[in-house]
Amino acid sequence: MVRLLLLTSGATSDFDIGYDTSNDKVVIAYRDSGNSHHGTAVVATASGTTLSYGTHAVFDSQDCREHVVVYDSSTDRVAIFLLWHR
């Protein structure tokens, strides 16, 4: 079981997590209800049993409900894909 604690101004939902194997970091994308439901991401670094978080950054300024975080080892990059349904 994984437990996450994100320090945000409101409720959060719709999480996805990607693991950057080259840098040993986790990218967490979520819907930030405290910020107009914007899609937001943060990088977390583990040290023992403690996670430290970087700056939370908005990646979608609309009501972001579905997204996927993927690490591409061939380019050493993390990408967040938005899923659109019509």
At position 69, the amino acid (one-letter code) is V
Tokens describing residue 4: 């996450």
How far apart (Å, rounded) are the C-alpha atoms in residues 57 and 47? 22
Domain extents in the chain: 12-82
Q: What percent of the chain has pLDDT over 90?
A: 40
Tell the residue number behind the tokens 């840098």, with chain if given: 23
Q: How many CB atoms lie under 10 A from the CB of residue 12?
A: 18
pLDDT, tens only, 31-53: 888 888 888 999 999 888 888 89
pLDDT, tens only, 5-20: 555 556 777 888 999 9
Tell the residue number behind the tokens 């439901």, with chain if given: 37
- What predicted TM-score, i.e. pTM, was given to this entire model? 0.80
DSSP state letter for 84:
-
pLDDT of residue 34: 82
